[in-house]
Structure 1
Amino acid sequence: MDDDHGQLLSGRYRLSRLLGQGGMGAVWRAHDERLGRDVAIKELRLPSHLEEPERQNRIARLDREARAAARLKHPGIITVHDRISGPDGRPWIIMELVDGGSLADLIQAQGALTPERTADVGRQVAAALDAAHRMGITHRDIKPANILLEEERVVLTDFGIAALEGDATLTATGMIMGTPAFMAPEQVRGLPATAESDLWSLGATLYAAVEGRAPFAGTTPSAVLVAVATEPPIPAARAGALGPVLDGLLHKDPAARPTMDRLQAVLNSVAAPTPPAAGPDTLVPPTMPAWSPTVRQTAPRPTPEPEPAPHRPFPRRAKLGVATLVLAMAAGAGYIISQGAGDDSRYEANRKVAEALTVPAGFSRPTTTRVRPNRAQVTYTWPAPCIDHCADQVRLATEWMARQPGVARIDALGAELGGCLDDEYGCPILIVRVPSYEDPTLQGAALQTKNNRLSLRVDVGR
């Protein structure tokens, strides 16, 4: 916590200042009193309501982050010095201190970067990723916030959800891991992340740097996920020579993305373009400091930008299928996607079906609320605290959903493991519907625990 300031860890690391914090941890600036140097220390925070299996899962994730970064020795990857345990047994990672902010901080403070500066950041991150991929490590969460800038050096950090070749997975099959605006389409669909997925995320990150905004927009995280899976990126207006690179990286088909060697070659050329040879009719203005008030430099004529690569339309059938899958998952997670105003008669038809549903075995009678556009959301609650990640209750809930009319298949996406039950929106449940069924039925669902009580939210509609 913030009052940990001044705490001495392992007899040598004195915490001095909180640098940042998130949902699962915090990063401190500290002084290594034994070696006389400043370091960064990542603290794992474990809320008191977590049960022991989930506490151990989070500790295992931090350990995996330490192992992933410790395997790698590269100037573009954060250096891990040690992993220690605090007085209460919680793990802390001792890392090099990168004395600078993140790429996200820079974009927020300065706005869009030039194509050349963006390419320079990109080529350094690409080199770091190349080193990680050669060691069998997929980062899975490339985004501006995980890229640190120290003068001209660019450092990739936060391997918290990295996939290590040969390690047992800590993520349930089908569970979505990552940040929506920077996740590859295959990750959105619940497929395993690969080296090509990291390239997509790098492309989205470079797009955000050169344009000042992410390539896919939406009013909710679920809307962003649908856009990533089914829509082309918003056309880039400032990318210049970087445009074709972004088009290639953001290709929906992983096999169509550029190879790492090709990517690095193109980024190098954009970051350090070859100046045109000076001829008799060429004016080469003097190079002066940007702050000089006394010299006016002749602005070079803009060079025509290359034509953007032709967009390959995503097959409509595939697009609709992916959109249905993502929407079902997102709606079940508590995200509501606006599809325009609806009429009361449609909602009333959905509400009648919702209130006629049976109650899952052991759950309490439901409450029904209206969610946009016209769906009826039913909430069932387990009356007592549950144990063992609520595994029995999750099974009862999914079996009940699978028996409802119009439902072809249910996939709990690892909810029975409990890792997402405490999340802000809980665990989304994938509902595959019978295509020919036309009456209102289950459209999305989520399971979530609050105060160790399990609730099941179900959306009913057409």
Structure 2
Amino acid sequence: MSAPTPWAPGTEPVQGYVVLEHLTRTGWLDVYDAWSEERDCRCVIKVVRADHRGEKRLDERLLREGRWLRDFAHPHLVRGYEAFKSPEPLVVLETLTGETLSHLVHRLRRRPAAADVALLGVQMCSAVHYLHGRGLLHLDLKPANVVVDRGHVKVLDLSVARPPGPAPAGLGTCCYLAPEQARGGPLTATADVWGIGITLFEAACGEKPVACRARTAAADGHDTDDRYWQLEEAAPPVASRRRLPLALAAAVDSCLRADPSSRPTVGGLAAALKAALPE
């Protein structure tokens, strides 16, 4: 069956918002550049794809993310404007300038300076600390979910976020999962510490710690394939790929320890990264 046709420019999905352009499509979402008449500015609309509409769990997942982002306020977290239940579930988010970290590293081939890697980590820690303070783990930290604009970072996508505790195996994106996410079972704040660490590793080195076959995330947010590199081998030290200041390399490596209890806390990681910044 062919994929549904995206909304055309000029479509008004809800009153006060006009579609400008279709931006991208995921396994269950369409994302649009849109215009907010009330705010007199551009915005981003996320809506469940037409071929998945009526799937209650996806509707609830999108609306939950929209309500969280609408209610949260943090300088390093994307801002949500509104969440609509009808005529169909959709959320409205701020338009971000800048580029995703993934685009900068892989498309533009920009490898950030060591100080920029440390600052990136400090800002990610700040956003994650805020989420943890509201009882949520992000669980999908990766370069594609980080936007950088002139050194300022914003973390995206709370679609698989959940409170600490039991979770199904494979929740998140396969290449970036902490071992305990891949395995399934209780998750704690240290799963997000792994996510920060693997993001910093890829930003610094231009590649993941271990080559990983990319797979499209299922609509339920987890991958059912049980072959994960994280369960078969340890992450190599970042110094094996790039020479970094010792304190920074040690901070990144500490995030990627297989045992969650041996990783630093978010606060401890932030302090280590700040110490690695030049004075």
Q: Would the TM-score normalized by the shorter structure come out above 0.5? A: yes
Find the counterpart in structure 1 of residue 251 from structure 2: 245
**1:13 touches 1:32 (CA, 8 Å); kept in 2?**
yes
Distance in 2 between the 1:32 and 1:77 partners?
20
SS of residue in 2 equivalent to 1:130: helix
Partner of 1:406: none
Amino acid at match of 1:213: E
Q: Equivalent pairs: percent with the same residue?
A: 27
**Contact 1:113 1:211 survives alignment (8 Å):** no
Structure 2 gap ranges (5+): 216-223
Match of 1:235 among 234, 237, 240: 237
Counterpart of 2:185 in 1: which secondary structure?
coil
Give CA deviations for 1:16-42 in whole Å, capped at 9, x if unaligned. 122322111122111111221111111
8 Å Cα contact 1:180-1:225 kept in structure 2: no
Preserved CA contact (<8 Å) 2:200 2:252: yes
Look up the match of 2:32.
28
Q: 1:248 to 1:94 in 2, by over 3 A?
A: same
Q: Is the 8 A contact 1:216 1:224 kept in 2?
A: no
Q: CA deviation at 1:235?
A: 3.5
Shift, 1:239, TM fit: 4.9
Q: Which runs of 4+ in 1 moved over 3 A?
A: 172-175, 218-226
Specify the alignment match of 2:99 in structure 1. Answer: 101
How far does residue 260 in structure 1 lie from its aligned partner after superposition?
A: 1.9
* Cα shift at 1:111: 4.1
Corresponding position of 1:43:
47
Q: Choose the corresponding residue for 2:211, options 208, 213, 217.
A: 217
CA contact 2:67–2:82 (8 Å) conserved in 1: no
Give the TM-score normalised by structure 1.
Answer: 0.53
The answer to whether the 8 A contact 1:181-1:215 is kept is: no
SS in 1 for 2:96: coil
Shift of 1:161: 0.6
Q: Using the alignment, how far apart are the partners of 1:223 and 1:229 within structure 2?
A: 12
Instruction: Give per-residue Cα distances to partners, 1:101-160, cap 9 Å, x unaligned.
Output: 211111112243222111111111110000000110111111111111222221011100
Name the residue aligned to 2:218: none
Q: How far does residue 65 in structure 1 lie from its aligned partner after superposition?
A: 1.1
Paired with 2:195 and 2:46, the residues of 1 have a C-alpha distance of 24
User: Please, which runs of 5 or more residues in structure 1 have no aligned partner?
Assistant: 275-462
Normalised by the size of structure 2, how large is the TM-score?
0.86
Identify the residue that residue 450 of structure 1 maps to in structure 2: none
Correspondence for 1:183 = 177
**1:2 is paired with a residue of what secondary structure?**
coil
Q: CA deviation at 1:229?
A: 1.6
Distance 1:239 1:209, change over 3 A: farther
Indicate yes or no: 2:278 matched with 1:273.
Answer: yes
Per-residue deviation, residues 250-301 of structure 1 (Å, max 9, x unmatched): 011111111222211221232x312xxxxxxxxxxxxxxxxxxxxxxxxxxx
Which has the bigger relative contact order, CA under 8 A and spacing at least 6? 2
How much has 1:183 moved relative to structure 2?
A: 0.3
Deviation string 1:55-108 (CA, Å, 9 cap, x unpaired) is 01110111121133234210001111101245xx32111111111221111111
Indicate the structure (1 or 2) with the bigger Cα radius of gyration. 1
* Counterpart for residue 159 of structure 1: 158
1:136 is aligned to 2:130: no
Q: Verify: 1:6 aligned to 2:37, yes or no.
A: no
Q: Give the alignment of 1:433-448 within 5 angstroms.
A: none
In the alignment of these two chains, the number of paired residues is 262
Aligned letter for 2:146? I
Q: Distance in 1 between matches of 2:228 and 2:81?
A: 40
Partner SS, residue 67 of structure 2: helix
For the 8 Å contact 1:250–1:257, the answer to whether it is kept is: yes
* Partner amino acid, structure 2, of 1:8: E
Pair 1:32–1:160, CA change in 2 (3 A): same
Deviation of 1:195 (Å)? 1.1
Distance (Å, rounded) in 1 between the aligned partners of 2:244 and 2:118: 11
Q: Separation in 2 of the partners of 1:196 and 1:240?
A: 23
* Contact 2:71/2:80 (<8 A) preserved: no
Retained in 2: the 8 A contact 1:12–1:32? yes
- Structure-1 residue corresponding to 2:66: 66
Query: Cα 1:239–1:69, aligned 2, differ >3 Å: closer, same or farther?
Result: farther
| RMSD across aligned positions (CA) | 2.3
Counterpart of 2:78 in structure 1 is 78
CA distance in structure 1 between the partners assigned to 2:227 and 2:73 by the alignment: 34
Which residue identity lines up with residue 143 of structure 1 in the other structure?
K
- For 2:228 and 2:15, the matched residues in 1 are separated by 50
| SS of equivalent residue, structure 2 residue 99 | coil
Alpha-carbon distance in structure 2 between the residues aligned to 1:125 and 1:62 = 23
The structure 1 residue matched to 2:22, chosen from 12, 18, 21, is 18
The 1:93–1:130 alpha-carbon spacing in structure 2 relative to 1, beyond 3 Å, is same
